[in-house]
Amino acid sequence: MNTTFPRQYAATRRFTMGAPRTVVVSKDGTQVFFLRSQSCDDPVLCLWVLDPQTGSEQLLADPSVLGPSEDADLPAAELARRERARESANGIVSYSLDRAAQTAVFALGGSLFRVNTATGTTTALHASNDVYDPRISPDGNHVAYISGQTLRLTCLAKGCLAHGGDGASSDGASSDILLKDDEHALVSWGRAEFIAAEEMSRTRGYWWSPDSDALLATRVDESPLERRWISDPAHPEREPNEVRYPAAGTANATVDLALVKLDGQQSTIDWREGRFEYLANVKWDTSGPPLLLRQPRNQRSLSIAELDLQTLAVTEVHQIQDEHWVELVPGSPTRSTHGLLTIEDRSDHLDNRVLCLNGKVLSPSDAQVRSIVAVQGDEALVTVSTDPTEIHLVVLSLVGEPPRQLTDQPGVHHAVSGGTTLAIISSLADQSQTSTSLHRWGAEEVKGESGTVTPASFSPASITNLAEEPLLKAKPTYLRLGQSELNAALFLPQDHDGKTPLPVLMDPYGGPHAQRVLKTQNSHLVSQWFANQGFAVLVVDGRGTPGRGPKFERAVWGDLAQPVLDDQIEALDAAAASYPFLDLGRVGIRGWSFGGYLSALAVLRRPDRFQAAVAGAPVTSWRLYDTHYTERYLGHPDTYPENYERSDLLDEAAGLGSPLLIIHGLADDNVVAAHTLLLSSALLAAGRQHQVLPLSGVTHMTPQAVVAENLLLLQRDFLQDHLAAARDS
């Protein structure tokens, strides 16, 4: 029984258990697939399918009857992938469908399974050990997957193409073939390298051809990377784990790309052309030749190129440039019958992120376009913000018709589509559970009073959400603070009288590429819980955060410290001017990752304003963090050393003048524990008292329930103790 919010929050894995996720609509729109555990306290994800005509849900694959699904049995590559994706669930965490949606495949405990989506019959396939990232061919005859460093293939149909073999036997058993291998231990085939998965949202390293006769596959050589050793001090008998890591200013992994045909032929593709460092993505579908997305090391351009499958020539078809960096935006580029759709940052259009067709702007002047969801005929479905705290679905015409907004309730909306079926996924300001409603794109649209149009719904019109109802409800007051009109959310104790002075707790992420002030319910529950412990909690999105236009985001280029800290202080002072009960003599700050960096920065640089800080997994030296993220904002350290000097924390240790608690997982392979240990050493050398809480066996995302629960309680106690002392002194 979850009797307290911290226990409930941890036990339900942040209220994700029982909630549907990874929704896929079949290409003909007649089936909707999704993952969901069977109850609000069950962490094991199952595969389901829903008939949108009847609303009936069918359980297709249940890990509990297929074999063990514990994390201890997973391949190391799968554990690393889950860490990159911040995946904390068990069971079936991903799946792949053929074009007709007749067969789904997935990995479970390192084994390979397929399921007949019509009958629900699930079969274990013959495959090598440690199956990772299986993907079925569009025609359903083959399954490619990774095992160790190799790319392998399982044939499902008799007479399949692989190496001219006969494929499956007459009794239906599958055959397994080594497709690509390499003798070098640091070379892998078909895997997304660390930078791709962590920073570029590319979680895969191979792509099927639409005709199912070939794959494009990456060959990743990690030998140029620095070696790092991550040990578990709680188990000194265990060998440290060797990790190859691309720290800022050092070499990246070498990523090659090959066209691998199922008959065994292979051709290497010169995608770099001597200019490009990063293979940001590959798009290969029935709309045309493969598209390759490429960036140079400084990320100030994005090259979109077509691959000629006959000559293997790579031809650039579009380029986006920016004096600071080019953002990688979900869904961009996408082909349409009218040309190439891209999302670009255009200062010549009112400082907006815009949708372009062949370089021509299509989106309204007041819109910040967030992603391309789908294209159908003469229309593109995109996500858009006109208010940075909300994200809505809008249909933009490719032929000059007026735009149509499909959602109007305050919140964050996204969608997936297949045929004319549209699954709209909504996280709303006043509802704890995310809803997934099913609609017909373009059919019988009803115009509402606000000007939005609602597509006709199926009935029943939603996927059931089994997530547990939180014990508390977040009640933010949304504000725009200071001359910069910074978006903020203020949380007060539920029984506060509006007069009694309250200590203030700043609760930011604060860094680029992420946003906290959004009108959703569940994302604010922890802030509300801290408020109920006796704080006025203030969450602020300062410069660098998305949703307000390119100039606002790029204001942090060259300095990740002072602009973001200044914005937190500006918002704090503006909030106190409107709410006099905010006690500016008792101000604390807490955060994780970049938020942890910002929290430590606050008490190092401005202890006169911040009386206590909790820094979780903080970056303390940007030279230790990865290339793609760090150099995007600070440049290469050999070229711009001053940017690193003004943004790092280690040389500022002597400035600590307020209590600081640093928390770090010792198994963190993203922000390694060296960040905290180096800062702690610098603080000790400067004679500054501080506390360090090391978490043995814990990674960057702290998935363990007991850790998540007690971290909230420990932070509360630390902040209450020190902010009370600040008041009494």
Amino acid 169: pLDDT:
43
CA 133, CA 142: separation in Å to the nearest integer? 14
Buried b (16+ CB within 10 A) or exposed e, 61-88: bbbeebeebeeeebbebbebbbbbeebb
Other Cβ atoms closer than 10 A to 58: 14
Confidence of residue 459 (pLDDT cuts 50, 70, 90): low
Confidence of residue 296 (pLDDT cuts 50, 70, 90): very high
Amino acid 181: pLDDT:
77
For residue 401, pLDDT beyond 90: yes
* Among 81-85, 145-149, 684-688, the range of highest mean pLDDT: 684-688
Report the candidate in 666, 669, 686, 688 with the shortest Cα–Cα distance to residue 677: 666
| Residue in this structure with the two tokens 């307020």, named with its chain if needed | 658
For residue 379, pLDDT beyond 50: yes
- Residue length, the chain? 729
Amino acid 729: pLDDT:
42
User: What's the mean pLDDT in 51-78?
Assistant: 79
Q: What's 140's DSSP letter?
A: S
Q: What secondary structure does DSSP assign to 615-653, as a single string?
A: EES----GGGSBHHHHHHHH--TTT-HHHHHHH-SGGGG
* Beta strands 266-269; 392-397: pairing state: unpaired
* Beta strands 536-541; 502-506: pairing state: parallel
Whether residue 597 contacts residue 618, with contact meaning beta carbons closer than 8 Å, is answered with: yes
For residue 110, pLDDT beyond 80: yes
**Strands of 402-445, DSSP E:** 404-405, 411-418, 421-428, 435-440
Residue 202, burial from CB neighbour count under 10 angstroms (0-12, 13-18, 19+): buried
CA 408, CA 392: separation in Å to the nearest integer? 7
What are the tokens at 531?
A: 């408020």
Residue 471, burial from CB neighbour count under 10 angstroms (0-12, 13-18, 19+): middle
Instruction: Domains for the chain: give ranges and CATH numbers.
Output: 42-269 (2.140.10.30), 336-466 (no CATH), 477-728 (3.40.50.1820)
Amino acid 75: pLDDT:
64
CA 47, CA 58: separation in Å to the nearest integer? 9
Confidence of residue 167 (pLDDT cuts 50, 70, 90): very low
DSSP reduced 3-state for 680: helix
The tens digit of pLDDT for each residue in 170-197 reads: 344 456 778 777 778 899 999 999 999 9
Cα of first residue to Cα of last residue in the chain, in angstroms, is 41
CA 649, CA 630: separation in Å to the nearest integer? 15
Q: Where are the alpha helices (DSSP H) in 181-329?
A: 194-199
Whether residue 449 contacts residue 457, with contact meaning beta carbons closer than 8 Å, is answered with: no
Q: Which residues contact 274 (CB under 8 A, 6 or more apart)?
A: none
User: What's the mean pLDDT in 376-393?
Assistant: 97
> 562-578 and 594-605 are packed helices; what angle lies between their axes, rounded to 10 degrees?
80
Whether residue 165 contacts residue 180, with contact meaning beta carbons closer than 8 Å, is answered with: no
The tens digit of pLDDT for each residue in 535-584 reads: 999 999 999 999 999 999 999 999 999 999 999 999 999 999 999 999 99
For residue 199, pLDDT beyond 80: yes
DSSP reduced 3-state for 10: helix
Amino acid 166: pLDDT:
45
CA 693, CA 432: separation in Å to the nearest integer? 32
Whether residue 660 contacts residue 598, with contact meaning beta carbons closer than 8 Å, is answered with: no
CA 387, CA 408: separation in Å to the nearest integer? 12
Residue 400, burial from CB neighbour count under 10 angstroms (0-12, 13-18, 19+): exposed
Report the candidate in 584, 595, 389 with the shortest Cα–Cα distance to residue 478: 389
Amino acid 530: pLDDT:
98
Whether residue 400 contacts residue 379, with contact meaning beta carbons closer than 8 Å, is answered with: no
